[in-house]
C-alpha cells in the first residue's frame, strides 16, 4: 500500500489483538489497518468526519449498477468506496431499498427484515430493521440497505445474531454511525483465507462499537466485501481472489489531506487557563464542531482558509475568534469565556431590557404590528382599539376595523362626511387646495354640535399661538372628554392626533373660506 500521502498520525500499537496502524489519507478521513493473531484477522476501517468541509457521500444510481467497487469510485471520482446491499445476480436489483443521485431504484423498497442508511441535506439516518422506511425526496440523496442490525443505541443487537449466517465467520462489510450523527464508520474484514478467517456478527458488532459507533448495520459480505481508497487501490483481499461485480456502492468524497490544517486551543473559565471548561460546544463556521471534555481542549481539521471559531456554553458569554489556517499547520486559538451576569428585566416580562422592544411595559410576546422596532405595548393607542396611534386613522375614536369609505385617510369613526372624499379645493384662503365643485356647507355638518372641537379660524393666530398643535393645525379637546387634551397623551399619540386633525382641516377647511361656519364634530364623538 502506498501511504506516502497520508498526513498526521501513524500509530503502531502492539496489544493482545496484534497491531493497529492509523493513517489519514484525506481531510476528515482516518484509516485503520488492524491485524489480530487469535483469531487471525485483517481489518480495514475508515472513520469519516461528516462535518468536515468538502466531505460528502454518494451512493449508486440505478443506471450505475453492476460494477466493481473500484469501477464505481473511478466513475464518480470518489476518494473512498465500499460495496453495499445484498442483491440478485439476475438483474442486479438490491434486496432492500436502494437510491442514488436523489432518486430511488425502481422496484426496490424497504421491508421489516432490512435496515437502511439514508443521507442528504446534511442529515444522516441509520434506521433499524423495523419500522420500514420510504424514500423521502425532500432530503434523501442516497440510501443503502443491509441486515442484520449490529448495534442499536450502543448495545449489540444480539437477538439478531443467532442464525448460522451470523454465527459463522465470513468476510464482512459494515457501517456504523456515532451517537451525535457526525461520524460515519466503514469496515471491511477479510475472510476465508489463512491470513484472515472473517468475523461473526457478534465480533463485527464489537469491532464497530470499539471504533465509536452507536448504531451499526451489516452489509453484503463474502466475496462482495471490498474497500477502495484512492492512491492505494483496493486495500483488502477479496475472498474471490479479485473484486466482485456488485449491485450498488457507498462512496465518500473528501479533500486532500495535505490541503488541511488543524485549529486547536483550550477553553477556560475566565483568564485562568488552568480552569478548563468541559461541555463547551466549539464550532467552526461552515465546518466541524465538538464538545470539550474535562481537558477543555479542542482540535479540528479544516482546509487552508480563514475560519471563525465560536465557543458557547450555557451560563457563559459566547465568544468567537478568527484564525487563518495554512496547509499542514497547527494554529492555536484558545478562548477564555466570561460568566454571564443576570440580565436586567425592568418590566418583569421575561425579556431582558437589552432585547425588549418595550422595556418599561410588560409584553412577553414582543408584538410589533407595524414592525417599527417599538412594541405595540408602548407604541401608543389612545383610543384603546388595538391599533397603535401612529397607524390609526382615528387615533381618538375607537375603530379597530379602520373603515374609511371615501379613502381620504380619515377613518369613518371621526369623519363627519365619511362618504365624501377630501375636498381637493378646500381652504384656498388658508393655503389649502380648493375644490370648486363643493359649494356651501358640507351635508355632513351638524349645526347643533357644540363648537368646542375644532376651529379652523384659530389657525390665523399663527405659530406659537395658544391651541396651535404641531403641523399648524389649531385643535382643542373639550374639558371632561375621554382622553383629556392632546397635551396629556403620549408623544406618539399627540403627533397622531395632530396628523388626524390636519386631515380634517384639509377636507373641511373650505367651509370656513365659503362662510359655512366652523367645522364641528358630530355629537357624542370623542375628540
pLDDT digits (tens, 9 = 90+) for 86-109: 999 999 999 999 999 999 999 999
Express each pLDDT in 246-290 by its tens digit.
999 999 999 998 788 889 999 999 999 999 999 999 999 887 888
Q: Provide the Cα torsion 249, 255, 260, 262; round to 10°.
A: -30
In a domain, 359, yes or no: no
Q: How far apart are CA 57 and CA 118, in angstroms?
A: 10
In a domain, 19, yes or no: yes
Rounded mean pLDDT, 158-177: 97
Q: Do residue 172 and residue 82 come from a single domain?
A: yes
**pLDDT exceeds 90 at position 69:** yes
Q: Which residues of 322-347 are buried (b: 16+ CB within 10 A; e: fewer)?
A: ebebeeeeebebebbbeeeeeeebeb
Task: Give Cα 274 distance to the centre of its chain.
Answer: 35
Q: How far from chain centre, in Å, is Cα 280?
A: 20
Spatial separation of the C-alpha atoms in residues 372 and 390, rounded to whole Å: 11
Instruction: Identify the domain boundary among 189, 224, 253.
Output: 253
Q: Are 184 and 237 members of one domain?
A: yes
Residues spanned by the domain of 247: 11-253
Mean pLDDT in residue range 456-473: 38
Domain-terminating residue out of 303, 337, 371: 337
pLDDT: which is higher, 381 or 72 = 72
* Whether residues 321 and 455 fall in one domain: no
**Could you tell me if residue 6 is inside a domain?**
no
Name the DSSP letter for residue 167: H
pLDDT, position 457: 36
pTM of this prediction? 0.58
**Strand order across the beta sheet in which 281-284 lies:** 289-291, 281-284, 305-312, 319-325
| CA–CA gap between residue 486 and residue 501 (Å, rounded) | 11
Q: 302 in a domain, yes or no?
A: yes
CATH number at 287 reads: 2.60.40.1120
Confidence of residue 125 (pLDDT cuts 50, 70, 90): very high
Most confident segment among 360-369, 420-429, 454-463: 360-369
Any domain includes 438:
yes
Question: Which cell numbers hold the place of 237?
Answer: 483481499
- Whether residues 74 and 102 fall in one domain: yes
Q: What is the 3-state secondary structure (H, E, C) of 252-264?
A: EECCEHHHEEEEE
Rounded mean pLDDT, 395-423: 82
Whether residue 79 lies inside any domain: the answer is yes
Q: Are residues 100 and 212 in the same domain?
A: yes
Percentage of the residues of the chain whose pLDDT score is greater than 70? 76
Residue 186: strand pairing partners: 46, 175
Instruction: Give yes or no: residues 189 and 145 share one domain.
Output: yes
Do 135 and 273 sit in the same domain of this protein?
A: no
The domain tally of the chain equals 3
Most confident of 5-19, 216-230, 331-345: 216-230
Strand, helix or coil at 441? coil
- Mean pLDDT across the chain: 81
Comparing 395 with 305, the larger pLDDT belongs to 305
Task: Tell whether 78 and 189 lie within a shared domain.
Answer: yes
328 shares a domain with 410: no
Residue 447 in this model has a pLDDT that exceeds 80? no
Q: Which one is predicted more confidently, 351 or 485?
A: 351
Q: Provide, rounded to the nearest whole percent, the portion of the chain with pLDDT above 90.
A: 56
* Same domain as 521, residue 436: yes
Q: Which residue has the higher pLDDT, 12 or 420?
A: 420
**Domain assignment of residue 262, yes or no:** yes
If 0-12 CB within 10 Å is exposed, 13-18 middle and 19+ buried, where does residue 308 land?
A: middle
Looking at the domain assignment, is residue 237 inside a domain? Answer: yes
Confidence of residue 192 (pLDDT cuts 50, 70, 90): very high
Among candidate residues 302, 337, 372, the one where a domain is terminated: 337
Amino acid at each position: 500500500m502506498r501511504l506516502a500521502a497520508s498526513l498526521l498520525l501513524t500509530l503502531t500499537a502492539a496489544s493482545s489483538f496484534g497491531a493497529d496502524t492509523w493513517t489519514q489519507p484525506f481531510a476528515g478521513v482516518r484509516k485503520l489497518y488492524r491485524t489480530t493473531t487469535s483469531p487471525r484477522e485483517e481489518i480495514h476501517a475508515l472513520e469519516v468526519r461528516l462535518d468536515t468541509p468538502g466531505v460528502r457521500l454518494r451512493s449508486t444510481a440505478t443506471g450505475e449498477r453492476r460494477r466493481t467497487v473500484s469501477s464505481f469510485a473511478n466513475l464518480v471520482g470518489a476518494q473512498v468506496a465500499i460495496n453495499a446491499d445484498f442483491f440478485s445476480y439476475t438483474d442486479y436489483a438490491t434486496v432492500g431499498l436502494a437510491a442514488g443521485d436523489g432518486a430511488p431504484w425502481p422496484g426496490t423498497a424497504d421491508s421489516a427484515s432490512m435496515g437502511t442508511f439514508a443521507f442528504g441535506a446534511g442529515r444522516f439516518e441509520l434506521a433499524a430493521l423495523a419500522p420500514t422506511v420510504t424514500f423521502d425526496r425532500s432530503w434523501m440523496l442516497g440510501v443503502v440497505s443491509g441486515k442484520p442490525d449490529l448495534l442499536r443505541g450502543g448495545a449489540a443487537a444480539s437477538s439478531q445474531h443467532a442464525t448460522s449466517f451470523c454465527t459463522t465467520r465470513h468476510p464482512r462489510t459494515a457501517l456504523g454511525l456515532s451517537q451525535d450523527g457526525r461520524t460515519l464508520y466503514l469496515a471491511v474484514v477479510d475472510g476465508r483465507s489463512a491470513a484472515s478467517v472473517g468475523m461473526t456478527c457478534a465480533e463485527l458488532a464489537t469491532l464497530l462499537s470499539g471504533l465509536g459507533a452507536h448504531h451499526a448495520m451489516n452489509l453484503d459480505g463474502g466475496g462482495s466485501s471490498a474497500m477502495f481508497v484512492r492512491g492505494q487501490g483496493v486495500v483488502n483481499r477479496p475472498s474471490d481472489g479479485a473484486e466482485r461485480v456488485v449491485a450498488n456502492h457507498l462512496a465518500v468524497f473528501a479533500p486532500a489531506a495535505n490541503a488541511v490544517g488543524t485549529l486547536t486551543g483550550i477553553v477556560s473559565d475566565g483568564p485562568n487557563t488552568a480552569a478548563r471548561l468541559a461541555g463547551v460546544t466549539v464550532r467552526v463556521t461552515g465546518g466541524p464542531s465538538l464538545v470539550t471534555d474535562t481537558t477543555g481542549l479542542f482540535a479540528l481539521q479544516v482546509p487552508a482558509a480563514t475560519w471563525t471559531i465560536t465557543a458557547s456554553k450555557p451560563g457563559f458569554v459566547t465568544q468567537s475568534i478568527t484564525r487563518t489556517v495554512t496547509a499542514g499547520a497547527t494554529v492555536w486559538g484558545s478562548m477564555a469565556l466570561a460568566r454571564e451576569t443576570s440580565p436586567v428585566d425592568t418590566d418583569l416580562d421575561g425579556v431582558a431590557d437589552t432585547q425588549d422592544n418595550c422595556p418599561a411595559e410588560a409584553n412577553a410576546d414582543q408584538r410589533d404590528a407595524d414592525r417599527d422596532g417599538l412594541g405595540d405595548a408602548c407604541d401608543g393607542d389612545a383610543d384603546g382599539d388595538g391599533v397603535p396611534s401612529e397607524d390609526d386613522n382615528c387615533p381618538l375614536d375607537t375603530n379597530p376595523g379602520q373603515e374609511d369609505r371615501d379613502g381620504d385617510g380619515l377613518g369613518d369613526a371621526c369623519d363627519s362626511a365619511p362618504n365624501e372624499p377630501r375636498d381637493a379645493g378646500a381652504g384656498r384662503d388658508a393655503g389649502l387646495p380648493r375644490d370648486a365643485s363643493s359649494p356651501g356647507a358640507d351635508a355632513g355638518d351638524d349645526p347643533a354640535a357644540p363648537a368646542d372641537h375644532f376651529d379652523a379660524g384659530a389657525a390665523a393666530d399663527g405659530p406659537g399661538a395658544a391651541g396651535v398643535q404641531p403641523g399648524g393645525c389649531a385643535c382643542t379637546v373639550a374639558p371632561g372628554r375621554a382622553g383629556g387634551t392632546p397635551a396629556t397623551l403620549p408623544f406618539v399619540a399627540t403627533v397622531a392626533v395632530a396628523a388626524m386633525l390636519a386631515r380634517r382641516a384639509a377636507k373641511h377647511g373650505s367651509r370656513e373660506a365659503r362662510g359655512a361656519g366652523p367645522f364641528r364634530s358630530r355629537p357624542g364623538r370623542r375628540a
